[in-house]
């Protein structure tokens, strides 16, 4: 039995009603429920009395250090079997880390700790690392994003990585680490026995100076399948160094996020080699990089290679125009693996989308999710999009937000949704404006086809 309540005001009477239910739940999720430290007293008792509870999510509540102290009393009881604990944005400080450290030392059942968006700071996380080094600690996932950490934290993290081969996921995004610390962290990872699978270092003040060391992690740790270094100014030279690691035979990367990294079309030459040779690679984001049509055409040529197994590609806001759509359409007609394509915020225009639809209609195309928000589309290409909607049963999600479709275009889309051959589940139309007449038509359509969600 699970309890899942989000974004609800939890008044005392409602809370009292829920307490008996919680005593038999395996998962309790109470995100954004206006909970405070006083609720943690009750939750501590629940943890103590309910040995079947394995997952507790309390994100976005003002629990504070006092609340965590109460909570940890329950977590420290011998009967506690909690495996996953989420405390993101709970107004915690470094004072909570002493208490959480004692839990890490005492509870081998705990495998996930998510404490992002709390002002733990470097001294607090150093204390947490002491808990990680305890032989009883079996933590596998540690999330420390937005915790106001500096480069000084890396020495403690490296010591923990050396002592804790069980750790699989480490998220340090949105902390001011800098190149020196990231290089130190990477050297520690290479030297450790830790089989890390996920490393997130987005917005950590990294430049190309760190990329050789990150590349060394990629080439030495075949366990690493998920790397996120978005929102760092690594540039084309940095990506060239990363690709050396990505192309190493030991590298088994599956997910690579390089959004807003100051890349140009020059990076696409290196990335193309990765796309066409790294068969493990399934998901790539290069959002908000100035790749332009020339860069996209290089990526498309690589995606036509039989060894390319990419399933998800994010190229939103990459300076693309109608000119690259023929190359993308060609990929869609030959690549059976690609399922999710994000092309929003590019000036493709009606002509570009018409060309894309040629590839989308090809029998080889297996696209499940297509995002074309703010692509300068009008009602003129909606008839062709409807043809895709009713022909391609694999298409489950279509985003046409922020386009000037007007009543004419939205009516055509409604006709498509009404067709029994259309298997669409989500039609996303944020900031697309229509009349009251069309609003009534959409309401009727939602009643007749409740399995389709029109999101606006």
Question: Is 90 exceeded by the pLDDT of residue 11?
Answer: no
Q: Provide the pLDDT confidence category of residue 127 given band limits of 50, 70 and 90.
A: very high
Question: Is 80 exceeded by the pLDDT of residue 402?
Answer: yes
Q: Reduced to 3 states, what is the DSSP secondary structure of residue 66? A: helix
Q: Reduced to 3 states, what is the DSSP secondary structure of residue 231? A: coil
Asked, for residue 139, whether it belongs to a domain, the answer is no
Asked, for residue 138, whether it belongs to a domain, the answer is no
Whether residue 312 is found in the same domain as residue 428? no
Q: What integer is the mean pLDDT of 413-421? A: 94
Q: What's the pLDDT at 79? A: 86
How far apart are the C-alpha atoms of 75 and 77, rounded to whole Å? 6
HSE-up of residue 149 (Cα within 13 Å, Cβ side): 34
Asked, for residue 383, whether it belongs to a domain, the answer is no
Whether residue 239 is found in the same domain as residue 153? yes
Quick one: which of 223, 171, 160 has its CA closest to 202?
171
Question: Is 80 exceeded by the pLDDT of residue 162?
Answer: yes
Whether residue 74 is found in the same domain as residue 4? yes
| Domain end position, chosen among 229, 262, 295 | 262
Whether residue 445 is found in the same domain as residue 422? yes
Number of separate domains in the chain? 4
Structural domain boundaries, residue 351: 266-271+282-376
Whether residue 16 is found in the same domain as residue 42? yes
Q: Alpha carbon 289 to chain centroid distance?
A: 18
Q: Provide the pLDDT confidence category of residue 220 given band limits of 50, 70 and 90.
A: very high
Condensed to tens digits (0 to 9), the pLDDT of residues 243-289 reads 999 999 999 999 999 999 999 999 999 999 999 999 999 999 999 99
Q: What are phi and psi of 144, to 5 degrees?
A: -130, 40
Asked, for residue 382, whether it belongs to a domain, the answer is no
Condensed to tens digits (0 to 9), the pLDDT of residues 308-341 reads 999 999 999 999 999 999 999 999 999 999 999 9
Question: Is 90 exceeded by the pLDDT of residue 377?
Answer: yes
Whether residue 398 is found in the same domain as residue 365? no
Question: Which DSSP string corresponds to 308-352?
Answer: ----EEE-TTS--BGGGHHHHHHHHHH-SS--EEE--SSB-HHHH
Q: What's the pLDDT at 370? A: 98
Answer yes or no: are the C-beta atoms of 357 and 328 closer than 8 Å.
Answer: no
Q: What's the pLDDT at 10? A: 86
Whether residue 1 is found in the same domain as residue 126? yes
Q: What's the pLDDT at 265? A: 97
Asked, for residue 4, whether it belongs to a domain, the answer is yes
Query: Considering the chain, what percentage of its residues have pLDDT values greater than 70?
Result: 100
CATH number for the domain spanning 42: value is 3.80.10.10
Whether residue 305 is found in the same domain as residue 189? no
Q: What integer is the mean pLDDT of 155-178? A: 95
Asked, for residue 174, whether it belongs to a domain, the answer is yes
Quick one: which of 311, 425, 426 has its CA closest to 367?
311
Asked, for residue 144, whether it belongs to a domain, the answer is no
Q: Provide the pLDDT confidence category of residue 78 given band limits of 50, 70 and 90.
A: confident
Whether residue 81 is found in the same domain as residue 165? no
Question: Is 80 exceeded by the pLDDT of residue 1?
Answer: no
Q: What's the pLDDT at 396? A: 97
Question: Is 90 exceeded by the pLDDT of residue 164?
Answer: no
| Domain end position, chosen among 354, 376, 398 | 376
Whether residue 242 is found in the same domain as residue 305? no
Whether residue 253 is found in the same domain as residue 287? no
Please state, rounded to an integer, the average pLDDT across all residues of the chain: 96
Asked, for residue 323, whether it belongs to a domain, the answer is yes
Whether residue 182 is found in the same domain as residue 240? yes
């Amino acid at each position: 039995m699970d309890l899942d309540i989000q974004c609800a005001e939890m008044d005392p009477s409602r809370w009292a009603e829920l307490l008996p239910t919680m005593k038999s739940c395996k998962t309790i999720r109470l995100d954004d429920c206006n909970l405070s430290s006083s609720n943690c007293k009750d939750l501590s008792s629940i943890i103590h009395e309910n040995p079947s509870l394995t997952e507790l999510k309390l994100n976005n509540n003002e629990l504070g250090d006092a609340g965590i102290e109460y909570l940890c009393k329950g977590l420290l009881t011998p009967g506690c079997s909690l495996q996953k604990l989420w405390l993101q944005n709970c107004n915690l400080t470094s004072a909570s880390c002493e208490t959480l450290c004692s839990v890490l030392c005492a509870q081998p059942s705990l495998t996930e700790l998510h404490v992002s968006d709390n002002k733990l700071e470097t001294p607090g996380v150093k204390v947490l690392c002491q808990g990680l080094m305890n032989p009883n600690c079996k933590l596998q996932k540690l999330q420390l994003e937005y915790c106001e950490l500096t480069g000084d934290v890396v020495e403690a993290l490296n010591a923990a990585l050396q002592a804790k081969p069980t750790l699989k996921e480490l998220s340090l995004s949105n902390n001011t680490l800098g190149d020196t610390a990231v290089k130190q962290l990477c050297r520690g990872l290479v030297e450790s026995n830790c089989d890390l699978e996920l490393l997130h270092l987005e917005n950590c003040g990294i430049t190309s100076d760190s990329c050789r060391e990150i590349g060394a992690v990629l080439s030495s740790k075949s366990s690493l399948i998920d790397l996120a270094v978005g929102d760092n100014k690594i540039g084309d030279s940095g990506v060239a160094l990363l690709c050396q690691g990505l192309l190493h035979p030991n590298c088994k990367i599956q997910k690579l996020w390089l959004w807003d990294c100051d890349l140009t079309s020059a990076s696409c030459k290196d990335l193309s080699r990765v796309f066409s040779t790294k068969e493990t690679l399934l998901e790539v984001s290069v959002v908000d990089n100035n790749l332009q049509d020339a860069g996209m055409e290089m990526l498309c040529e690589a995606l036509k290679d039989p060894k390319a197994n990419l399933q998800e590609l994010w190229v939103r806001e990459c300076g693309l125009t109608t000119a690259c759509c023929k190359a993308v359409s060609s990929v869609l007609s030959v690549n059976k693996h690609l399922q999710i394509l994000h092309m929003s915020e590019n000036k493709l225009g009606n002509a570009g989308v018409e060309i894309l639809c040629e590839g989308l209609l090809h029998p080889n195309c297996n696209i499940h999710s297509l995002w074309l928000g703010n692509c300068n589309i009008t009602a003129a290409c909606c008839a062709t999009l409807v043809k895709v909607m009713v022909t391609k049963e694999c298409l489950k999600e279509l985003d046409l937000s922020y386009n000037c479709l007007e009543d004419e275009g939205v009516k055509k889309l409604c006709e498509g949704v009404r067709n029994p051959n259309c298997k669409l589940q989500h039609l996303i139309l944020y900031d697309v404006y229509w009349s009251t007449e069309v609003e009534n038509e959409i309401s009727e359509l939602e009643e007749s086809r409740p399995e389709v969600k029109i999101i606006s």
